[in-house]
Amino acid sequence: MSEQVEPAVATSPGSRRGRSVAVWVVLVVAGLLLLLTSFAVWVNRVVLNEEVFVDTSSQLLEDDGIRSVVAARAVDELFDNVDVEAEIEDQLPSDLQSLSGPATAGLRQASYELVDRALERPAFQRLWAASLRRSHRTLVDVLEDDVPAFSTSGGAVTLDLEAIVLEAADRIGIRSRIEGKLPPDAGRIVILESDELDTAQNGFRILKTLGWALPVLALVAFGLAAWLAPDRRRVVRNVGVTVLVVGLVGLVATNVVGAYLVDALTSETDVREAAGNAWDILTELLRLSFRSLVVVGLLFLLAAWLAGPGRRALASRRALAPVLRERAWSYAALGVLALFLLLTGRVSDFTRLLFVCVLLALGVVWVELMRRQTLHEFPGASGVGAFAETRARLVGWWERQRAARLAREASGEPLPAAPTSPADTVTRLAQLAELHARGALTDEEYAAAKARVLAGG
């Protein structure tokens, strides 16, 4: 005697609850990965991308507050490494050499503004950009182990700011006398020492890996959350909330970290202002990515709302039904969005390409799902009918406005002065006759309005 197997029962409430908890856990992990992705991609772009590095560093020198601090540092570096007073004393007559001390003090104060103005010149900023490009290229070659040996000057990769120090000397007229007397390390910032090479190369490889691995892991986590969710519309909403929260948290964290670093590392007011400006410039791409996440999160929430059962959502789908029926309109909009995203981005790399491709793929899925839903709900909707209905409503509104105006004319209400040319009079009489024939004006109203038009009213 064989037993009959009972059919599988529906999922229990406990199972559904556990699945919902699992979805939220995966979404939290995805949000953390997305947050880490934003920071990793930002570091990757600003530090390792030559064009972004040079552009960002050049923006630092274009800022008034930062340039003032750099000019002051260059002047201090010059006066600390060169006996400027002795150089000035050699150029003065013997009876005026006692004035070299006061002259040096006054010259030092005036040099700050002179060098600041010199740094504004486009020619010098091009020189600065070229120096940055050379230093960055050397650093990346060393980190990628593209050089046969670590043979940089003194066993270190440096950022050479000697040109700024020499510019300071040129401003006060002693460049030719001190150019060969500067110490080798004057105006040079050490970026990488030879004994740090192995650690730096390992960190470089990890950073490059994180730049593409974290975005993929975040995308996989969001996909897993969508696969686990029993309600697809709800998971779209939850993904939107997660992305929106990550964007907002990232913006707040960027501001909080910047304020902390500026206060912790600087004490002088002028330097603190310059440091704040530098942080804003350096993190502009990071804040831009977080603002993009906020926009994407809002788009997800809008998509979830449009697919919902609410009265306004239903009315919105009814309005969109004629457009969604014709795929050309929807995919043309997606094409315009793709061109906008590809052509307006400041950085073109793997992460941005992945972001654009995923966003467009989700747009295609959303269009197809909305088409299926709206055309099932409103099978008779058509683009021609919608445009005709819109045109009819506009024409009806215009006719009502015109009838009301002519009715006021008939009742004798004062109206703004109107042109009284013969052509205008004929046109108005024709309009009155049309309205009278359609019954919009009574015989008495038509006669009174006609008399007013003929009288030039």
Strand partners, 192: 157
pLDDT band, very low/low/confident/very high, at 196 (cuts 50, 70, 90): low
Give the residue from 136, 155, 186 where a domain finishes: 186
What b/e string do you get for 336-347 counting C-beta neighbours within 10 Å, with b at 16 or more? eeeeebeeeeeb
In a domain? residue 244: no
Q: Which residues contact residue 396 at a Cβ distance below 8 angstroms, ignoring those fewer than 6 apart?
A: none
Nearest one of 216, 239, 215 to 227, comparing CA atoms:
239
* CA distances for 183 relative to 45, 77, 179, 301, angstroms: 34, 11, 10, 61
**Coil vs helix vs strand at 150:** coil
Length of the chain: 457
The token duo for 243 is 């992305």
The rounded distance, in Å, linking the Cα atoms of 41 and 352 is: 10
> What digits encode the pLDDT tens for the residues 224-279?
988 888 777 788 899 999 999 999 999 999 999 888 877 776 666 667 777 788 88
Report how far residue 299's alpha carbon sits from residue 111's, in angstroms, rounded to the nearest whole number. Answer: 54
Q: How high is the mean pLDDT of the chain?
A: 75
First to last CA, the chain: 104
Q: Is residue 69 part of a domain?
A: yes
Q: Which amino acid would we find at residue 119?
A: L
Burial status of residue 184 (CB atoms within 10 A of its CB: 0-12, 13-18, 19 or more): exposed
Residues 6+ away with beta carbon under 8 Å from 238: 23, 24, 27, 225, 229
Residue 145 lies inside a defined structural domain of this protein: yes
Residue 104 covered by a domain: yes
> What's residue 153's pLDDT?
47
The confidence score (pLDDT) of residue 26 equals: 92
pLDDT over 90 for what percent of the chain? Answer: 11
pLDDT at 233: 79
Question: Of 186, 215, 243, which one is at a domain's C-terminal end?
Answer: 186
What's the rounded Cα separation, in Å, for the pair 138 and 191?
Answer: 11
pLDDT for 151 equals 45
Containing structural domain, residue 88: 49-186
Whether residue 24 is contained in a domain is answered as no
Domain boundary (137, 161, 186) is at 186
CA 161 remoteness from chain centre? 31
Whether 318 shows a pLDDT value over 80: the answer reads yes
pLDDT for position 241 = 94
Cα separation, 109 vs 72, in Å, equals 9
Radius of gyration over every alpha carbon of the chain, rounded to an integer in angstroms:
36
pLDDT of residue 14 exceeding 80, the answer is no
Query: Do 158 and 152 contact (CB within 8 A), yes or no?
Result: yes
Q: Are 156 and 192 in contact (CB under 8 A)?
A: yes
- Please give the distance of CA 204 from its chain centroid, rounded to a whole number: 26
Q: Is residue 257 part of a domain?
A: no
Average pLDDT (211-219) is 88
pLDDT above 70: residue 155: no
Residues 355-374: pLDDT tens digits?
888 888 888 888 888 888 88
Q: Give the residue, 106 or 241, on which the prediction is more confident.
A: 241
Nearest to 255, CA basis, from 274, 232, 283, 275: 283
Q: How many domains does the chain have?
A: 2
Q: Which of 74, 78, 48, 72 is nearest to 128 (CA)?
A: 74
In a domain, 27, yes or no: no
What pairing do the DSSP bridges indicate for beta strands 156-160 and 188-193? antiparallel
Residue 196 maps to a domain: no
Q: What is the per-residue pLDDT across 64-86, written as a single tens digit (0 to 9) for each?
A: 887 787 777 777 777 777 766 66
Q: What share of the chain is helix, strand, coil (3-state, %, to 5)?
A: 80, 0, 20
Quote the CA–CA distance of 97 and 86 in Å, as a whole number: 9
pTM for this structure? 0.68
**Token pair belonging to 348:** 């073109």
DSSP-assigned letter for residue 8: P
d(CA 191, CA 158): 5
Q: Look up residue 350 and give its two tokens.
A: 């793997």
Amino acid letter, residue 121: R
Residue 92 structure tokens: 């003065």
- Cα–Cα distances in angstroms (integers) from residue 100 to residues 110, 124, 373, 429, in the given order: 15, 30, 87, 96
Which two three-digit tokens encode residue 238?
């939850």
